[in-house]
């Protein structure tokens, strides 16, 4: 993060579903046992030689997706065959009237009953997984692997876009912009305080500050500046105030907004693009301002050869001059990734002499 010289470039991927393939566990069994997911992950990484330096997903419960997306999720072993990947259902669960309820009642006074009634009480379903977090992190540390990310925080845009469905929400930004402004402001203030208390209680090393549908290429610059950036910046600053590392997890393409990230403090955050953002332009835009984590593409890990993966990683290391860069998959390692390609991603950094 501080652009200092290290003995090697560290490898910090994120993976959950992929780990089931290497560990020999069905997706249905994995999804049914959130507290046990850390053991599945560790079994996977123990079979890699050399193994990873850190992980961005210490344990997992598919129920985490329900309150993050305000959407229903089809689960393997329940709604899908045992070894299928879970699927988020795109549906209009929120209405415009829900914005008014948030403004009138407050965000959590609306949110808690909403998720309980519409999404099968996901907060109760994930409670045991959250409680297993400290023990999971002890297991990683004992294995010599740093559990970098222990939570995800995001902005109201993401919740509303999922709950309204993407087309409806994008229409709301045009037709109901003032109403949306009010609802976003109310929700953001409450979410910032709730997330602050969560960070104080759990004391993680780092958290994802996540953006997926809020990517800047998915809307006009004026809309992004109005509905996304103020909230993303405020959330990142809150994480920093609590002494936690923000990993700016940028799904989709954020290339045309890279300069905004220079408004964040130098050497305090990590930018993590998923392969859609131009990592070369990100490096030039950030210079020595912010470290970058990524972005070995999902399709590369699934379909390319180990030699192609190794060459891609080592060329990135050279492009960055060995500083301010960390090797990772772009977002999650996909379920169908070849284990030999994941091993090549890890080995490429370990084999590379210091620059």
What local confidence, expressed as pLDDT, does residue 234 receive? 98
- Token duo for residue 104: 């009138």
Tell whether 158 is covered by a domain: yes
Please compute the mean of the pLDDT values over residues 22-39 and round it to a whole number: 97
What local confidence, expressed as pLDDT, does residue 271 receive? 98
Tell whether 2 is covered by a domain: no
Does the pLDDT of residue 205 top 90, yes or no?
Answer: yes
pLDDT, tens only, 139-163: 999 999 999 999 999 999 999 999 9
pTM: 0.96
What local confidence, expressed as pLDDT, does residue 354 receive? 80
What local confidence, expressed as pLDDT, does residue 90 receive? 93
Tell whether 5 is covered by a domain: no
- Token duo for residue 228: 């996304």
* Distance in angstroms between the alpha carbons of the first and the last residue of the chain: 17
What is the pLDDT confidence band of residue 106, given thresholds at 50, 70 and 90? very high
Please compute the mean of the pLDDT values over residues 51-79 and round it to a whole number: 96
pLDDT, tens only, 272-324: 999 999 999 999 999 999 999 999 999 999 999 999 999 999 999 999 998 99
Please compute the mean of the pLDDT values over residues 205-233 and round it to a whole number: 97
Residue 82 to residue 34: CA distance in whole angstroms: 16
Tell whether 179 is covered by a domain: yes
Residue 55 to residue 48: CA distance in whole angstroms: 13
What is the pLDDT confidence band of residue 329, given thresholds at 50, 70 and 90? very high
Does the pLDDT of residue 184 top 90, yes or no?
Answer: yes
Mean pLDDT in the chain? 97
SS (H, E, C) 118-147: HCCCHHHHCHHHHHCHHHHHHHHHHCCCEE
What local confidence, expressed as pLDDT, does residue 322 receive? 86
Domain containing 289 equals 17-351
- Per the structure, how many domains does the chain have? 1
What local confidence, expressed as pLDDT, does residue 253 receive? 97
- Token duo for residue 12: 């910090």
What is the pLDDT confidence band of residue 254, given thresholds at 50, 70 and 90? very high
Tell whether 78 is covered by a domain: yes
Please compute the mean of the pLDDT values over residues 69-87 and round it to a whole number: 97
What is the pLDDT confidence band of residue 353, given thresholds at 50, 70 and 90? confident
What is the pLDDT confidence band of residue 78, given thresholds at 50, 70 and 90? very high
Tell whether 177 is covered by a domain: yes
What local confidence, expressed as pLDDT, does residue 355 receive? 82
> How far, CA to CA in Å, does 323 sit from each of 7, 233, 288, 306?
11, 25, 9, 24
Where residue 316 sits, what CATH number does that domain have? 3.20.20.210
Tell whether 8 is covered by a domain: no
Tell whether 3 is covered by a domain: no
């Amino acid at each position: 993060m501080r652009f200092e010289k290290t003995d090697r470039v560290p490898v910090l991927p994120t993976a959950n579903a992929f780990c089931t393939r290497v560990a020999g566990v069905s997706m249905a069994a994995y999804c049914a046992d959130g507290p046990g997911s850390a053991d599945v992950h560790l079994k996977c990484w123990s079979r890699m030689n050399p193994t990873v330096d850190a992980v961005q997903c210490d344990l997992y419960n598919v129920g985490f997706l329900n309150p993050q997306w305000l959407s229903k999720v089809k689960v393997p072993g329940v709604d899908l065959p045992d070894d299928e990947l879970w699927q988020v259902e795109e549906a209009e669960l929120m209405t415009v009237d829900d914005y008014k309820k948030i403004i009138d009642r407050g965000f959590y006074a609306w949110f808690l009953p909403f998720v309980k009634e519409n999404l099968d009480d996901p907060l109760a379903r994930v409670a045991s997984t959250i409680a297993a977090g400290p023990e999971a992190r002890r297991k990683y540390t004992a294995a010599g692997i740093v559990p970098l990310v222990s939570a995800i925080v995001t902005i109201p845009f993401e919740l509303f876009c999922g709950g309204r469905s993407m087309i409806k929400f994008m229409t709301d930004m045009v037709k109901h912009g003032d109403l949306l402004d009010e609802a976003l402001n109310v929700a953001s203030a409450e979410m910032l305080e709730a997330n602050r208390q969560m960070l104080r209680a759990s004391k993680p090393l780092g958290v994802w500050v996540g953006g997926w549908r809020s990517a800047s290429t998915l809307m006009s610059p004026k809309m992004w500046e109005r509905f996304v950036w103020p909230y993303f910046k405020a959330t990142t600053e809150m994480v920093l105030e609590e002494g936690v590392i923000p990993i700016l997890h940028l799904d989709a393409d954020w290339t045309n907004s890279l300069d905004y990230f220079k408004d964040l403090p130098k050497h305090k955050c990590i930018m993590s693009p998923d392969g859609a953002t131009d990592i070369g332009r990100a490096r030039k835009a950030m210079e020595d301002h912010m470290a970058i984590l990524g972005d070995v593409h999902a399709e590369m890990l699934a379909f390319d050869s180990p030699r192609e993966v190794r060459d891609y990683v080592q060329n990135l290391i050279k492009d960055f001059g060995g500083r301010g860069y960390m090797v990772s998959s772009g977002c999650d390692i996909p379920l169908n990734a070849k284990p030999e390609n994941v091993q090549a991603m890890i080995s490429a950094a370990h084999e590379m002499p210091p620059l």
